[in-house]
Structure 1
Amino acid sequence: MRQGFIKVGVSTPEVCVADCRANAEAVRQRIQEMRQLGVKVMVFPELCLTGYTCSDLFLQDRLLNEAAQQLENLREQTEDTDALIFVGLPLEVKGKLYNAAAVLNRGRLLGFVPKKHIPNYNEFYERRHFTPGEESVIWIDWNGRKVPFGMNLLFACRQVPHLVVAAEICEDLWVPCPPGISHTAAGATVMVNLSASDDMVGKDSYRRSLVCQNSASLVCAYLYASAGIDESTTDLVFGGQDMIAENGTILAESRRFSNDTAVSEIDVDRLAAERRRLSTYPKAGADAAARYETVFFDLEVEETRLTRRIDPHPFVPSDAQSREQRCNEILNIQALGLRKRLKHTKCRHAVVGISGGLDSTLALLVTTRAFDMLGIPRKNILSVTMPGFGTTDRTYDNACRLTEKLGATLREVSIKDAVTVHFRDIGQDSDTHDVTYENAQARERTQILMDLANQCGGLVIGTGDLSELALGWATYNGDHMSMYAVNVSVPKTLVRHLVRYYADTCGEEGLRNTLLDVLDTPVSPELLPPSEGQIAQKTEELVGPYELHDFFLYYMLRAGFEPAKIYRLANYAFGGQYDALTVRKWLENFYRRFFSQQFKRSCLPDGPKVGSVAVSPRGDLRMPSDACAAAWMEQIRHLS
């Protein structure tokens, strides 16, 4: 439960139709199993105490009274169970029968939520037995205690402010305006659905899409428990498709056609942060407060052991098909952005500084695609290699081969003499390899590119990527500046996959081999003299692994997490690839640089946004250049 993680479970117990005692025992056993796993919110199917397929037996007093008795037994048996439990049963209220969810917590019956939408079409005939529930909440007598009954019930945890739960029942999910819309607008972050959805060919994928879409549009967790294979099969078969979704993503799903359980962890703090970020998400106003009854419950605050997958590379799809689709989409977005800028400025030339490294390679690939879209000859792309003090034969050769294979025009301009003269003019010792030594080279290269662009009437295409901008790993008014920055919102971990995708799909062996060698080259600005012909300055040894920094960046900007939570997730996601001290070291470096280098991001050139994280001062990140990082750094210092 720390940091907003709540372990939840949805379960389909074995049901014996109309045998409430056996069903209650089956539910109790599943409660005990989930309790051993640390589950704090447990959801069981619709009418699970009786079985959904009792048909006209629902009109029998014996069945209704037995269901009520077994619910009371469950209440007593779960006094020592630290969980919020949802169980389905038929419930008589004021002479009418309702399909209801009973809510239990530590031996307390917190309330009953009735089903609103009662299907009476095709194979369903629930109107024969049940009355639609009302939104308004009334108080009913239950064994001498007053208990709330109504749809508009919110169950709020005292110990976890963002854990607020509301319930729907089966058909409530399938209608055009589900009750969950109102429930989440009133403050619920978790929706549970007690369901008995029969199975037909293809219905499982549609059901899954409903759960995913509702969790996404409502920005909530959605816990769906469905009736299983032991229901009556007179006319129907039930598959027990249990699902746990969070904001559009399925976290866990049970095996179909089995009485199974699905368990995972939801992150209610992240859901709350996402709602804060979305200015269009409705606020819970006075009207909602008046229409809803909030019932508080208690849970022990303890550590939640994570089992859900935390992707160590959140910017990169994990499966090959999705990754290829994403790469093609991003290349098109980058190229279309540049296409529009070229068309608007009536430029038929572009200038790209090509180093033989990943970023400039991607920029050149994008530029060629944009030129192809406009029907401009690729020879109008001026690919400029500018050897300096740190350039190696490997990167130089790759830059030349890449330009040749793509059909661009190669121009070589050495910066050694110009920088040497500049060092003399400003009194810089060329044997002192400090920041001035490095940045003077970067600025000389930018000057060359800008002047060549003026000569040919073209645009200088920026090569720097999102990860470098987050860390401020760019020379101010050097490689930091361009006329259009095509890589500005592409993180380093994704740059690699974009280049790899191009290599795999280009259909030209020579180009493919060159791109693969670029991918195999260590990331480096090559501003220091090489050591025995090899790259001496490796970026990730200086600022840290980019896969860690991209992870930090995603969860800081996209999710709004605190450093302590990012640290916990990084240690979990990378699974021992980095020890805790290493993660902490680079996390501290990330925050220090992110805050101190904002001034570089405040004056970025234009460039296309390709994903959900970007740092444009005109778009996603409005951050003062002199913001203080003390609160973040203080938390990092206390990490262990």
Structure 2
Amino acid sequence: MTDRLRIALAQVNPTVGDVEGNAELVRRNRAAAAGQGADLVVFPELVISGYPPEDLVLKPSLQQRCRAAVEKLAAETADGGPGLIVGTPWVEQGKVYNAAVLLDGGAVVGARLKHDLPNYGVFDEKRVFVPGPMPGPIVFRGMRLGVPICEDIWTPDVVECLQETGAEILLVPNGSPYELDKPDERSNLAVARVVETGLPLAYVNQVGGQDELVFDGASFVLNADRSLAVQLPAYESALTVTDWTRTGDGWRCAPAERVAPPARNEGIYRAMMLGLGDYVRKNRFPGVVLGLSGGIDSALTAAVAADALGPDKVWAIMLPYRYTSPESLEDAKAVADLLGIRYDVVAIGDPVEAVNRGLAPIFDGKKPDITEENIQSRMRGLTLMAVSNKFGHMVLTTGNKSENSVGYATLYGDMCGGFNALKDLYKTTVFELSRWRNQHHPPGALGPAGRVMPERVIDKPPSAELRPDQRDEDSLLPYGELDAILECLVERELPVDEIVAKGFKREDVKKIERLLYLAEYKRRQAAPGVKITRKQFGRDRRYPIVNAFRD
């Protein structure tokens, strides 16, 4: 009977669809773990295909390629080195499962199939996978391992079944995406499963960005007494070998690396860095280009991009028109200088006037209004897309969640772009993060330390500068009030009466509710962006465009 075991936790960053590359990632980590004397290496959920594969996993060619990669890795374990637990799509009798497969001694020893398939929020697993049966433990070198997969530990049933059928340790492969307060929620759930079963638990989470999702890693080990034995870092790849010993009370993990999780603002900022950085790198863009207006949204976007990619891969363009203030020109240049990014000025006056002249016969007799304002915004979008087409840089759009909620954005104008790091940030959070970044240099940031924007960018009243003396809050409520109402409507789905009872004016709540529903058609065409909150527009909150309901 085995009394000691060295288990390596491989917190890795796979790429969806890159089966060969992901298998090589497994191979490299196995070699590193073997060098540290590991007996077993545990990888995250669906590491072979990447997670979430969405409808890609329904392609028979992908299924076959994943199977071949797993069988090749299994054959390599004949070298007497560590065994592997890898996540992969697994086909049995024509059905596709989300599986964790044990490879050892040159063979596929067995597979455990995910039983609880999440089908809420960002998850659509019932669309593409078949639920597996209640699992029993799987034997590895004399030890009975329970291998519940991600959602399998969010309710008691699966781990209870594993405990009752003789599991000695719970090894949990995960693809758990980041959102505010999610790390605490994971920890609390894991503690509950440990208390219920009396078994130690190792939680191995994926790290990296995938479209709008960010996987923050932060893998950990809890002993049966609920003590934290291991805590891996968030937002970075890591390989940690843990030492386990059989005692009279069961298996126990020796204390090892314990990295404190980041605080709220650091966590949000690093999620944006990782999400944007992986989106650009995995899609093989040479860099990004954005309109730098001298305002806070574009300044924060530029800072995140420089930190995620390096200043040499960020190109800022100021696109002034007659309403652009001298202060905005100064502030945009100052932001670019502080970040060390390329900065150019392309005036849009002549092309805007050309469009206005071309439309003059059709608009004859009509007073100028928001139409002319939108022409300015759309000319900026056209200019940035022309630069993108010519040089290959992806356009970053810079709108925040407050403005996108109520439609305070121009379709095909300032909404033009391939990715939006600020998509799920309310304006009040934009202010918080800008102040935070001016005072902190995030771990792993490639941009400069110190201030990244002048204080005036943070302090001045936000303005789209599409007409004289324009201020955002002239059209909207003060951002603190607007964001509080939106949080009630979007994240919490509260009825209007309950929001009014919190002290808000009914006419303000009804106005914001109306704008929220009317802007759905714009949001449906918006660029993807990093998920931060519980209800991100797009993957989480899916409302109909044609919608006559009002509360």
Relative to the length of structure 2, the TM-score reads 0.50
Letter in 2 for 1:340: D
Size of the aligned set, in residue pairs, is 298
Q: Which of the numbers 530, 543, 547 marks the counterpart of 1:623?
A: 543
Whether 1:434 aligns to 2:356 is no
Cα distance in 2 between the residues matched to 1:430 and 1:513: 47
Is the counterpart of residue 585 in structure 1 residue 523 in structure 2? no
Following superposition of structure 1 onto structure 2, how do residues 203-282 of structure 1 map, counting pairs within 5 Å?
A: 213=188
Compared with structure 1, are the counterparts of its residues 510 and 337 closer, same or farther at alpha carbon in structure 2 (3 Å cutoff)? closer
State percent identity of aligned pairs: 26
CA distance in 2, matches of 1:451, 1:336: 27
Kindly indicate whether residue 494 of structure 2 is the aligned counterpart of residue 541 of structure 1: no
The 1:408–1:509 alpha-carbon spacing in structure 2 relative to 1, beyond 3 Å, is closer
Question: Which one-letter code corresponds to 1:481 in the other structure?
Answer: C
Cα–Cα, structure 1 residues 626 and 364, in superposed 2: closer, same or farther, change >3 Å? same
Alignment-derived partner of residue 325 in structure 2: 392
Structure 2 residues without counterparts, runs of 5 or longer: 1-154, 158-183, 194-259
- Displacement of 1:362 in angstroms is 1.1
Counterpart secondary structure, 1:410: strand
**Per-residue Cα deviation, 1:614-638 (whole angstroms, up to 9, x for no partner):** 112xx111111111143x1xxxxxx
Matched-pair contact (CA < 8 Å) for 1:591–1:629:
no
In the alignment, which residue of structure 2 is the partner of 1:512? 451
Residue in structure 2 matched with residue 521 of structure 1 by the alignment: 460
Paired with 1:623 and 1:498, the residues of 2 have a C-alpha distance of 29
Question: Structure 1 residue 598 and structure 2 residue 520: aligned?
Answer: yes
1:329 aligned partner, one-letter code: G
**Which one has a bigger Cα radius of gyration?**
1
SS at match of 1:382: strand
Distance 1:323 1:567 in 2: 37
Partner Cα distance (1:325, 1:429) in 2? 57
Task: Please name the residue that 1:412 is paired with.
Answer: 345
Match for residue 451 of structure 1 among 381, 386, 403: 386
1:365 aligns with 2:287: no
Q: 1-side partners of 2:414 and 2:353: how far apart?
A: 19
Spell out, residue by residue over 1:35-91, the C-alpha distance to the aligned partner (whole angstroms, 9 max, x if none): xxxxxxxxxxxxxxxxxxxxxxxxxxxxxxxxxxxxxxxxxxxxxxxxxxxxxxxxx
Q: Does 1:337 align with 2:275?
A: yes
Q: Which amino acid aligns with 1:566?
A: I
Matching residue of 1:475? 410
**Structure 1 585/459 Cα, relative in aligned 2: closer, same or farther at 3 Å?**
same
1:259-280 Cα offsets, whole Å, 9 max, x none, are xxxxxxxxxxxxxxxxxxxxxx
The yes-or-no answer on 1:401 pairing with 2:334 is yes
Q: Deviations over 1:388-432 (max 9, x none)?
A: 122111111000111011010111001111101110001157994
Q: Is the 8 A contact 1:506 1:512 kept in 2?
A: no
Q: How far apart are the structure 1 equivalents of 2:437 and 2:460?
A: 17
Aligned partner of 1:557: which letter?
Answer: V
Residues 462 and 482 of structure 1 are in contact (CA less than 8 Å); yes or no, is this contact kept in structure 2?
A: yes
TM-score (norm 1): 0.43
Tell me whether 1:560 sits opposite 2:482 in the alignment. no
Decide which of 610, 616, 626 is 2:532's aligned counterpart. 610
Counterpart of 1:116 in structure 2 is none
Q: CA deviation at 1:584?
A: 2.5
* Whole-angstrom CA distance in 2 between matches of 1:342 and 1:356: 24
Contact 1:423 1:429 (8 Å CA) reproduced: no
- In structure 2, the partner of 1:550 is 483
Distance 2:546 2:407 in 1: 14
Distance 1:409 1:362 in 2: 16
Q: Does the CA contact (< 8 Å) of 1:460 and 1:482 recur in 2?
A: yes
Q: Which amino acid aligns with 1:525?
A: A
**Distance (Å, rounded) in 2 between the aligned partners of 1:370 and 1:342:** 9
CA distance in 2, matches of 1:391, 1:213: 50
The 8 Å contact of residues 595 and 627 in structure 1, kept in 2 or not, is answered as yes
Change (3 A) 1:452 1:596: same
CA RMSD of aligned residues (A): 3.1
Summarize the Cα distance change of 1:607–1:217 in structure 2 as closer, same or farther, 3 Å threshold: farther
Q: Which residue of 1 aligns with 2:313?
A: 380
Residues 178-199 of structure 1 show CA distances to partners (whole Å, capped at 9, x for unaligned) of xx989xxxxxxxxxxxxxxxxx
Q: Is the 8 A contact 1:558 1:613 kept in 2?
A: yes
* Aligned residue number for residue 28 of structure 1: none
The one-letter code matched in structure 2 to 1:398 is: D
Q: Give the conservation status (yes or no) of the 8 Å contact 1:337–1:608.
A: yes
* Partner Cα distance (1:217, 1:554) in 2: 29
Call closer, same or farther: CA 1:217–1:611 in 2, change over 3 Å.
farther
Aligned in 2, Cα 1:528/1:429: closer, same or farther, shift over 3 Å? farther
Shift of 1:468: 0.9
Deviations 1:574-627 (A, max 9, x none): xxxxxx5xx3232121011011111011122111101223112xx111111111
How far 1:380 sits from its partner (Å)?
Answer: 3.1
Letter in 2 for 1:589: K
* Cα deviation, residue 355, structure 1: 0.5
Provide runs of 4+ in structure 1 moved above 6 Å.
507-511
Residues 461, 482 of structure 1: 8 Å contact kept: yes
Task: Give the letter aligned to residue 540 of structure 1.
Answer: E
What corresponds to 1:11 in structure 2?
none
Q: In the alignment, is the contact (CA less than 8 A) between 1:386 and 1:412 conserved in 2? A: yes
